[in-house]
Amino acid sequence: MKEILLCKYGEIVLKGGNRRYFEDTLVREMRYRAANFGNFQITNVQSTMTIEPADDFADLDGMFDAARRLFGIAAVGRAAVAEKNMDSILEVAKAYLPTFLEGKKTFKVEAKRSDKTFPLSSPEISAAVGGAVLSVCPRLKVDVHHPDVTLRVEVRDRAAYVHAGQFKGAGGLPVGTNGKGLLLLSGGIDSPVAGWMMAKRGVRLEALYFESMPYTSEQARQKVLDLAALVARWSGSIMVHVISLTHIQEELVRNCEEEYFTLLLRRYMMQLANMVAKKQDCQALITGESLGQVASQTMHALNVTNALAEYPVFRPVIGMDKEEIVQLARHIGTFETSILPFEDCCTVFTPRHPKTRPQLDKVMEEEKKLPFEELCREAFETAQSIYIKAKF
């Protein structure tokens, strides 16, 4: 008996003329991921992607998890393949379905024929498969209204498939179909989640990390690269740019009023992000800011940093509670890494009493004490780019 994966497309089925483009993009991306798990045959038939192991060595479990992390796929099912005749369908159903029924009391069968030349109607197929399942699992009962499990038979072009339902996929749109965004990635909980949310909308990610050695450590940098690698399991490979803010921070401490440190630093970050975005041809910036979470994320403070932005700044977690962000971080797999205790450049030299209702003109006055452009240019020169190749 041969087991395969059936992937259902998500939002792209709503697309009109360019739907084909979206489907092709997804198939290409799935093939690329599959190369990590052995030999598979991947085809797109009737708006379903089928993933078939091409030999006995192909790792279907690994492929199943990887397929569920591909944006654009709404659901992934595991299914057994039968020939397009009832003998084969019943035989496969009896052999394959019982494992999905362990511990269950009731089930129903739903059959679907996209091949209308098949001699039995859908209700007839359902009844026959239901009978076959009962013959091998006699304690089960059929319940067509509220079954514990719904078993499915799909008679399609090339074969019939028997399965026990679908598992939720990543949803969203294929990465790369909605431009490229520059994610300001810190070692915290929020920014990896923010990047993941935008990747889910089809945005290809590059990342920018600001460090402040020796005030921040090598481990802090490694943590950020590890987070990028975890996000990349969903989004695909990510180029991480690392820029040193050490000199800027030292100048701020030496020359500016303490209560403005963080705000000024964030304006430098924004300007450097503009510069990286321009060089890398990104069309938006992405941050993990959440309204009111800290002093630099009040509406007044956001206005002060946003005033410099030359690109739209996407803040997908702006309206989320910390608990909701944490829940997503766990789902993505970044939470455990995010809570490792390494310092961030924002947490060194933090003012004791940061301004929560800053005024832009006052901040800019403070900013004029330093040669803003020159310090940015100098920091930009420190940029290093590290390619994080996705391991699916």
- Minimum gap (Å) between residue 368 Cβ and ligand ATP: 24
Residue numbers 236-265 binding ligand ATP by CB under 6 A:
none
Q: At what angle do helices 261-280 and 372-380 cross, to 10 degrees?
A: 50
Residue 356 lies near ligand ATP (rule: CB under 6 A):
no
Cβ closest to ligand ATP, residue 126 vs residue 249? 249
Instruction: Indicate which single residue of 188, 202, 236, 316 sits in contact with ligand ATP (rule: CB under 6 A).
Output: 188
Total interface residues for Mg ion by CB under 5 A:
3
Q: Are 19 and 13 in contact (CB under 8 A)?
A: yes
Element (H, E) at 209: strand 204-211
End-to-end CA distance of the chain: 27
Chain position carrying tokens 């304690």: 139
- Minimum gap (Å) between residue 367 Cβ and Mg ion: 22
CB closest to ligand ATP, residue no: 188
Cβ closest to ligand ATP, residue 53 vs residue 181? 181
Q: Which residues contact 244 (CB under 8 A, 6 or more apart)?
A: 210, 211, 212, 213, 379, 382
Residue 23 lies near Mg ion (rule: CB under 5 A):
no
Chain position carrying tokens 């410099």: 308
Q: Are 308 and 280 in contact (CB under 8 A)?
A: no
- Minimum gap (Å) between residue 280 Cβ and Mg ion: 22
Residue 7, phi then psi, degrees to nearest 5: -110, 130
Q: Give the type of residue at 84.
A: K
- Minimum gap (Å) between residue 242 Cβ and ligand ATP: 9
> Of ligand ATP, Mg ion, none, which one does residue 159 interact with (CB within 5 to 8 Å by kind)?
none
Cβ closest to ligand ATP, residue 5 vs residue 183? 183
- Minimum gap (Å) between residue 41 Cβ and ligand ATP: 41
Q: Give the type of residue at 133.
A: V
Q: Are 176 and 25 in contact (CB under 8 A)?
A: yes
Residue 185 lies near ligand ATP (rule: CB under 6 A):
yes
Q: At what angle do helices 218-235 and 322-332 cross, to 10 degrees?
A: 70
> Of Mg ion, ligand ATP, none, which one does residue 185 interact with (CB within 5 to 8 Å by kind)?
ligand ATP
> Of Mg ion, ligand ATP, none, which one does residue 289 interact with (CB within 5 to 8 Å by kind)?
ligand ATP
Q: Is 333 left (phi over 0), alpha (psi -120 to 50) or beta?
A: left
DSSP assignment of 92-159, as one string? HHHHHGGGGGTT--EEEEEEEES-TTSSS-HHHHHHHHHHHHHHH-TT-EE-SSS-SEEEEEEE-SS-
Residue 364 lies near ligand ATP (rule: CB under 6 A):
no
Among the residue ranges 40-48, 114-122, 141-149, 189-197, the one whose residues contact ligand ATP (CB under 6 A)? 189-197
CB closest to Mg ion, residue no: 188
Residue 97 lies near ligand ATP (rule: CB under 6 A):
no
Residue 344 lies near Mg ion (rule: CB under 5 A):
yes
- Minimum gap (Å) between residue 142 Cβ and Mg ion: 54
Cβ closest to Mg ion, residue 71 vs residue 314? 314
Residue 29 lies near ligand ATP (rule: CB under 6 A):
no
Q: Provide the token pair at 216.
A: 């921040």
Total interface residues for ligand ATP by CB under 6 A:
20
Alpha-carbon distance of 364 to 168, in angstroms, equals 49
- Minimum gap (Å) between residue 344 Cβ and Mg ion: 5
Bridge partners of 4, per DSSP, are: 79
Chain position carrying tokens 């996000």: 231
DSSP assignment of 172-184, as one string? SB-TTTT-EEEEE
Binding mask 271-310 toward ligand ATP (x if CB under 6 A, else -) reads ----------------xxx---xx-xx-------------
Q: In the complex, which residues of this chain contact Mg ion (CB under 5 A)?
A: 186, 188, 344
Q: In the complex, which residues of this chain contact ligand ATP (CB under 6 A)?
A: 184-186, 188-191, 208-210, 287-289, 293-294, 296-297, 344-346
